[in-house]
Homo-oligomer: A and B are copies of this chain.
Amino acid sequence: MKLVQRENGFSIVVNDKEIIEHSIENPCIYVGKGKGTYDMFRGNFKVKDYICEKIGLNDFEISVENSRVIVTFSNKGLNAIKVLFIEEDGRTVVKFLENPDNFNRFWLRLKAEKEEHIYGCGEQFSDFDLRGKNYPLWTSEQGVGRNKNTYTTFMAESMDQAGGDYYTTFFPEPTFISTRKYYCHINNSAYMDFDFSHENFHELQIWDMPEEIIFETGETYLDLVGKLTALLGRQPELPEWVYKGVWLGIQGGTEVALKKLENVVEKGVKVSGIWAQDWEGIRMTSFGKRLMWNWVWDKKLYPGLQEEIKKLRERGIRVLGYINPYVAIEGSLFKEASEKGYLAKNKEGKDYLVEFGEFYAGVVDFTIPRACVWYKEVIKKEMIEFGLSGWMADFGEYLPTDVVLNNGVSAEIMHNAWPAMWAQINREAIEEAGKLDDVTFFMRAGGTGSQKYSTMMWAGDQNVDWSLDDGLASVIPAALSLGMTGCGLHHSDIGGYTTLFEMKRTKELFIRWAEMAAFTPVMRTHEGNRPEANWQFDSDDETIYHFAKMSMVYTNLAPYTKELVKENSNKGIPVQRPLFMHYENDERSYSIKYEYLYGRDILVAPVYEPGKTKWNVYLPEDKWVHLWTGKEYSGGDIEVSVPLGQPAVFYRKESEHVELFKKIGEVKHMGF
């Protein structure tokens, strides 16, 4: 870090990159006061701010001691705040030391270049390159439709305030990577809004005094994600059994599950898990079948499950379950948590009850250490000891802002921190059981800390449709942006989840989604919120045969995938990568958001539109081989045939895995 002083300003330069530029005319820091309102309906938030004041702090006084730079920003001495710029472990850290006027809004301007691109900010479903818009960072439901110009979004918005928008996400994070080759991370969990729409500056708005703002430069993007994850943490490798096949999302009880399993196994599908989210029982609501939310095996719905788990395990098939951070009021766990004082409170000091659509649940207060211990015991006893090898650790993004938490910190501040706290509970339960190499969980909600605690992410609740902002396509920028935020293991519900209004999952959508999923670390299906309205993996034999082929592609690819997962675990390099990560000099690659590199050697261009037999693909300059035909390409815009069963996938001719890839290209099964 270097401080460059000028008569009317100064710059903070990191490895020859001017990150912050301050002058009396264009201050880098603004402070103010605001009053936010958070209108929440079932996890969908309308957050508004009334900005009472926003003051540019033009004047500055610099004092330098050793390598500590302290700048007192003010307006001729008024509204002064004290900021420390310091180098720590090779990182440039900005610390806000004093805030005597109790400002609760901070704006930091970073120097921007016109041609710069920005990536990250957690899981972004609509945009990959974030330059040109602002991104509110607040964990919430992702929204249904997520595009104000679509009928689906309009209907969801009108009926349930649930339409979402281009920025709504389960996993926002104040962390990004710039093509000026630095990352920026803000250590704070308040509501933020990162505005990348200005030509000459980025403006980072924070609704709290940030603890630290951290910058670090890198030589390459590989280097940068490595450094970022050295700071934030990295995910462990996946258990070995995962790679043996798909996880079938099945509901309905022991008999149904086994029947469905045998049917598809018989027809060639490689299966490594049955994921039964209703292992703890169900309830009916108008949205569809919902779960019981009392995290104990439902013996009625799943008779003999414990015995079956043992038998399946011998066949290399595991059983996965489901949990979330709430306990439904009808259940034994609610009663226990309530009696022990482990639930978050309302303003009257009573257990806060969250309405989840025709039922209520209490919020386990993760700011109470004993509550965490207790919830981990529940996981260890009821899930791990019971025999589950993994689970969906659902939710995390709903924490209402008017809840009263035991640690005395405002829920407005704790809200964005909640997902990682929830991840930590799950992670520690597994670690304490000594099972990190054998048990895994996957989350949709996230934030700073998910890198360290969550074993894997899934993309949440896509619509069962082809929409760009909330369908199949949206999963791709989601995986890529999360990778740029330090979370490199991603997968999605094959076929999507949400069926509302006139939506129905079609056969073609399921098939295309499965093709993409074969090139992600985990292949997992979900019946969706209205299973009967959706095409399922076993809706006809043709679908099963196609699915079987893709499961073979996945299992055959396992040696390669394992290497990628290991690389993610050791170096923080995501499994799914944007093209520019390996082709830095390719200008075009920076704006590609619906293709990805699967590791160094495979390029995947998922078909995300219906009715396609040909697909346009952009290949960066290299020696590429089309997976199914062996045809070679040297880069540029090409068109390939994409019959069902042959997604647009290419491998590098110079890869050391060429033999493996060739074998995969030859996989055939019952017409696919």
A contact residues vs B (CB 8 Å cutoff) = 30, 32, 51-56, 75-79, 148-151, 154, 157-158
Contact = CB atoms under 8 A, between A and B. Distances in A.
A78 B75 CA distance: 8
Contacts of A157: 148-149
A52 B76 CA distance: 19
Given A78-B76, A149-B158, A56 B51 contact: no
B51 A51 contact: yes
Contacts of A75: 75, 78-79
Given A78-B78, A154-B151, A154-B154, A51 B54 contact: yes
Contacts of A30: 52-53
Contacts of A78: 75-76, 78
A52 B53 contact: no
Contacts of A76: 76-78
Given A52-B54, A55-B55, 11 more contacts: A30-B52, A30-B53, A53-B55, A53-B56, A75-B78, A76-B76, A149-B158, A150-B158, A151-B154, A154-B154, A154-B158
A54 B53 contact: yes
Contacts of A158: 149-150, 154
Contacts of A52: 30, 54, 56
Contacts of A53: 30, 54-56
Contacts of A54: 32, 51-55
Name the 3 nearest CB pairs between A and B, nearest first: A154-B154, A54-B54, A149-B158
A321 B649 CA distance: 67
A329 B149 CA distance: 33
A574 B75 CA distance: 51
Nearest to A54: B54
A32 B30 CA distance: 12
A149 B151 CA distance: 12
A196 to B, nearest CB: 13
A9 B532 CA distance: 68
A55 B53 CA distance: 5
A51 B54 CA distance: 8
Nearest to A151: B154
Contacts of A149: 157-158
A79 B76 CA distance: 11
Contacts of A79: 75
A146 to B, nearest CB: 14
15 contacts: A30-B53, A32-B54, A52-B54, A52-B56, A54-B54, A55-B55, A75-B75, A75-B79, A76-B76, A148-B157, A149-B157, A149-B158, A151-B154, A154-B154, A154-B158
A666 to B, nearest CB: 47
Contacts of A148: 157
A309 to B, nearest CB: 48
Contacts of A51: 51, 54
A50 to B, nearest CB: 8
A54 B75 CA distance: 13
A280 to B, nearest CB: 37
Which interface residue of A51, A52, A75, A154 has the most chain B CB atoms within 10 A? A154
Contacts of A32: 54
A32 B148 CA distance: 31
A33 to B, nearest CB: 9
Nearest to A158: B149
A585 to B, nearest CB: 35
A224 to B, nearest CB: 30
A115 to B, nearest CB: 21
Nearest to A27: B53
A501 to B, nearest CB: 12
A79 B57 CA distance: 13
A628 to B, nearest CB: 39
A569 to B, nearest CB: 42
Contacts of A154: 151, 154, 158
A56 B32 CA distance: 10
A166 to B, nearest CB: 15
A592 to B, nearest CB: 27
Nearest to A32: B54
A204 B328 CA distance: 47
A425 to B, nearest CB: 39
A533 B53 CA distance: 52
